[in-house]
């Protein structure tokens, strides 16, 4: 029965979605490089030409950019609430829900980077000033909608990368935890600090943090409302990479873009199926997980991309995948 349920879920998830770009606006630009390292050691990587252009326009709480050229397929989602330290407001939740839905429907998207347009901050969590003005009856529905946003972010079919160049606290860290991969600058600050306010993480933090770093460590961090820097987050397994911050304050973003560029040339359907197999398989027993993997593998066999991959290997050339 569990296997059958897994197959039904797969069939639902594998439906082809029509392309769509509603709610897409301008973001980020290019040029400059930095020295970076991963938590397992230090080493130089080739310069990456891509830096962000910041704006003080407070009306644009969220900016989304679909990159083009060789970076076509990479979508950069930038939070831009400088006066509120990128805190999660009603407006930001609505804008992000719209952006996530647009990305979900667009088969041309190959990876997503969630980052900040504001130097020194990723997301400070809930907008407590706005929250203080809410009626008690409004708080529950708002938290529920924010939780739904983060769930939808986690359910995107393509790889998602959180580029954390500053503080990611409370709901900000919960947003990052919903992403597949987290990259921090060494100066970033991360923590689920809700117990300081006599509440608990309410957007998945109590569930995703233990899955990321283990139950005991997650309990320690949540109970004590502890904040760790980017290097410590990497050591704990909370982040995949920790990079040395640069003068422009976007080192994690640059490393995230480099990683997205590594993902970009791979078979897009295969990457989606790999994510689906991992995400569904990790929640079930091994036998059911293997059945899920088999079902996902079956989806790539009839694709044109698989044949292109075999032809490119035989002809010793780079494959040109089209997501077909």
Assess whether pLDDT exceeds 60 at residue 292.
yes
Among 32-36, 216-220, 248-252, 305-309, the least confident range: 32-36
Among 19-28, 34-43, 54-63, 128-137, the least confident range: 19-28
- Of residues 54 and 79, more confidence is placed in 79
- Count of CB atoms within 10 A of residue 9's CB? 14
Summarize pLDDT for 195-254 with one digit per residue, the tens.
998 999 989 999 999 999 999 999 999 999 999 999 999 999 999 999 999 999 999 999
- Count of CB atoms within 10 A of residue 314's CB? 8
Helix or strand holding residue 292 (H, E): helix 286-300
**Active-site choice (194, 232, 258, 293):** 194
- Count of CB atoms within 10 A of residue 37's CB? 19
Share of the chain above pLDDT 70, in %: 81
pLDDT tier at 2 (50, 70, 90 boundaries)? very low
Q: What is the pLDDT of residue 318?
A: 83
Q: Where are the beta strands (DSSP E) in the chain?
A: 37-38, 41-42, 62-66, 74-79, 111-116, 121-123, 160-164, 167-169, 181-185, 189-191, 228-229, 241-243
Nearest to 42 by CA among 261, 183, 231: 231
Assess whether pLDDT exceeds 50 at residue 29.
no
3-state DSSP call for residue 122? strand
Say how far apart CA 243 and CA 251 lie, in whole Å: 6
Q: What is the pLDDT of residue 17?
A: 36
Summarize pLDDT for 142-193 with one digit per residue, the tens.
888 888 999 999 999 999 999 999 999 999 999 999 999 999 999 999 999 9
Beta strands 74-79 and 62-66 are antiparallel
Share of the chain above pLDDT 90, in %: 59
**Active-site choice (126, 168, 239, 252):** 126
Out of 28-32, 37-41, 241-245, give the one with best mean pLDDT: 241-245
Say how far apart CA 132 and CA 290 lie, in whole Å: 48
> Domain coordinates of the chain in residue numbers?
2-263, 268-315
Nearest to 243 by CA among 29, 50, 77, 40: 40
Among 121-125, 155-159, 169-173, 302-306, the least confident range: 302-306
Say how far apart CA 259 and CA 270 lie, in whole Å: 17
Mean pLDDT (whole number) for 267-288: 93
Say how far apart CA 274 and CA 295 lie, in whole Å: 11
pLDDT tier at 59 (50, 70, 90 boundaries)? low
Q: What is the pLDDT of residue 6?
A: 45
198 is catalytic: no
- Count of CB atoms within 10 A of residue 265's CB? 14
Predicted TM-score of the model (pTM): 0.80
Assess whether pLDDT exceeds 80 at residue 282.
yes
Task: Report whether CATH 1.10.12.10 matches the domain 268-315.
Answer: yes
Left if phi > 0, otherwise alpha if psi is -120 to 50, otherwise beta: which for 272? alpha
174 is catalytic: yes
- Of residues 41 and 310, more confidence is placed in 310
Give the distance, in angstroms, between the CA of residue 4 and the centroid of all CA atoms in the same chain: 30
Summarize pLDDT for 76-103 with one digit per residue, the tens.
999 999 888 999 888 899 899 999 999 9
**Active-site choice (174, 232, 258, 293):** 174
How confident is the prediction for the chain on average, in pLDDT?
82
**Active-site choice (78, 171, 202, 323):** 171
194 is catalytic: yes
CATH number of 2-263: 3.90.226.10
């Amino acid at each position: 029965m569990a296997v059958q349920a897994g197959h039904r879920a797969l069939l639902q998830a594998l439906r082809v979605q029509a392309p769509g770009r509603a709610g897409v606006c301008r973001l980020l630009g290019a040029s400059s490089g930095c020295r970076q390292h991963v938590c397992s050691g230090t080493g130089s990587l080739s310069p990456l030409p891509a830096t962000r252009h910041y704006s003080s326009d407070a009306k644009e709480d969220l900016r989304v950019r679909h990159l083009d050229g060789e970076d076509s397929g990479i979508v950069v989602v930038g939070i831009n609430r400088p006066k509120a330290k990128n805190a999660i407001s009603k407006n930001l939740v609505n804008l992000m829900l719209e952006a996530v839905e647009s990305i979900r429907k667009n088969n041309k998207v190959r990876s997503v980077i969630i980052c900040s347009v504001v130097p020194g901050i990723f997301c400070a969590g809930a907008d407590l000033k706005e929250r203080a003005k809410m009626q008690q009856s409004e708080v529950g529905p708002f938290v529920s909608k924010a939780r739904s946003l983060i769930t939808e972010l986690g359910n995107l079919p393509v790889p998602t990368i959180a580029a954390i160049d500053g503080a990611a606290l409370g709901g900000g860290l919960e947003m990052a935890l919903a992403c597949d991969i987290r990259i921090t600058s060494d100066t970033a600050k991360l923590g689920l600090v809700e117990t300081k306010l006599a509440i608990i993480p309410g957007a998945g933090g109590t569930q995703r943090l233990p899955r990321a770093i283990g139950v005991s460590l997650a309990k320690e961090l949540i109970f004590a409302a502890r904040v760790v820097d980017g290097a410590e987050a990497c050591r704990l397994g909370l982040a995949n990479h920790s990079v040395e911050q640069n003068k422009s304050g976007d080192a994690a973003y640059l490393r995230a873009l480099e990683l997205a560029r590594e993902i970009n040339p791979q078979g897009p359907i295969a990457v989606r199926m790999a994510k689906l197999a991992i995400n569904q398989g990790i929640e079930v027993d091994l036998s059911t997980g293997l059945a899920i993997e088999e079902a996902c593998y079956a989806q790539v066999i009839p694709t044109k991309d698989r044949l292109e991959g075999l032809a490119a290997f035989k002809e010793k050339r780079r494959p040109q995948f089209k997501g077909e």
